[in-house]
Structure 1
Amino acid sequence: MQDGAPQDWLRSELDNTLDEDFELELEDAALSEEIAKIYRDTHPNQMPRADYFHGLLRLQSELIRLQDWVAYHKEKVVVIFEGRDSAGKGGAIKRIAQRLNPRVCRTVALPAPSDREKSQWYFQRYVPHLPAGGEIVLFDRSWYNRAGVERVMGFATEPQVEQFFQDVPEFERMLVRSGIRVVKYWFSITDEEQQMRFLMRIHDPLKQWKLSPMDLQSRVRWEDYTKAKEDMFERTNIPEAPWYIVPGNDKKRARLNCMAHLLSLIPYGDVPHHEVILPDRVFNPDYEREVLPPELYVPQLY
């Protein structure tokens, strides 16, 4: 290689990495300028993009070390993400999993239960998704649906909710005794912030799919959700699996703070790695590559 070629290649790779991150950060892609201006005015102290990306890449590199440690030691990790609609759970999960091996770290976001699942033991449909040795599972909402949306919207009776509160501490203690590390995050935003984010989704065609009738009802029942959340904390904040609250009004800081805190909870370290050596390509002078028909190729529109 010529002088400077390795640096040029590394710079190109870094540019590609930042391009991927920038795609994820296009929060106002199709947003009306009027609403975008209101949002900027109400968030005057946003973290500079360069500082955010620097912190994000540093934390993601540490998450890769954590992933390698989990896989090597056959650890089992469950991370639960709960919070109000639009609080930023999905964005945090996306950044945590972005550079990790999907065979090690996977996200679970279950739909509403079927009629058959409704007749099962409440925790039954979550159990198959728990990690085996060497796995990290990120629950985008979890069994705590019963303490939140199911309770507030009347999908569960008060006796069912009470039974849940009696069962869940022992259920989580069983998980911990079995060797699963259970981490529970609640993403917290203000009433005004949720209203702003809902308005942004309504006016952004790329995000309208995120709004459901349940989301809109959560605006009407803000105080009911607040009472349900406080009751949930009081009944399920156990030493074996405590709750951790992530202030979420600032999305970027919330993601970085959550990632840094998760890393601080697990005593990961470096693990042995086999040296990777790229083998030489086997060249067969008698091999002739076949010419494939052009209709097999994706049209080159860009």
Structure 2
Amino acid sequence: MAADRKVILVTGASSGFGRLTAHTLARAGHVVIAGMRATRERNAPAVEEIRRLATTESLLLSSVELDVQSQASADAAVAEIVECHSRLDVVVHNAGHMVLGPAEAFTPEQITAVHDINVVGTQRVNRAALPVLRGQGSGLLVWVGSSSSRGGHPPFLAPYFAAKAAMDALAESYAAELIRFGIGTTIIVPGAFTSGTNHFLHAGHPADEATAAAYDSLYGEIRATIDKRLPELVPPDADVQSVADEIARIIDLPDDRRPFRTHVDPSRDGSEVVSAVADRIRAEFYHRLGIEGLLPLNASL
């Protein structure tokens, strides 16, 4: 294996950011394993696309069954990767699920399920992958977050944004706990990309339809058109491929040059400024704790 070629697992790679990222990283020369669930059922076409692309372009690209809601599935996926490639260098935490509707109308069980996919799912993958990375004394976790975790939350997406904020907090704590093992962290923060992904197409909806309907008299038009209003906030030249390109750029940087957090935000909603201030404060906090290397105090944010 070439010295700069990495073995990379991308979760939630059947569509959207994950699919583009898997393809982009493979074309950059890495060994890429696209993790997705239902590889023999719903996502069989995605698996076939990966096989065809790998053959046509001579890419080191493959797929693996990975349901982030199952620890057994995460364990089996990582074990298969290590058996085939003898190592694992990078995990891209991309798997996620969006829901759309009044927050009140989602049952507690639905809120729990959203967190189970977007937050607990990363924990299952980490518990499978981190023993390998710690054993190697090297590795990188890339977390695909959301600019919403720093403010600017549109209405009727609360459960999803709450889960993304929780994932962001988990990523920050993990970063400090892993740096001494030689495992780096970068949080990728996409803005409001509304085309090129299946977020709205596959979005879940409230189970409590009666409560949801109670919002219609005052918010019905907004609810019905929010998937069309949000794109109006995004410049027409915004390209979802830029997220995959940024992930590839970060992975190819030397360990000591990778940013802790990087924004890919076509709307420039200001969240990157808030993040820069927060990361500067965090750098000083970790410095005082004696945890060096996570974010240099002279880092360009």
Give your verdict on TM over 0.5: no
Q: TM-score, normalised by structure 2?
A: 0.33
Between 1 and 2, higher relative CO (CA 8 Å, sep ≥ 6) is seen in: 1
Say which one has the larger Rg: 1
Q: TM-score, normalised by structure 1?
A: 0.33
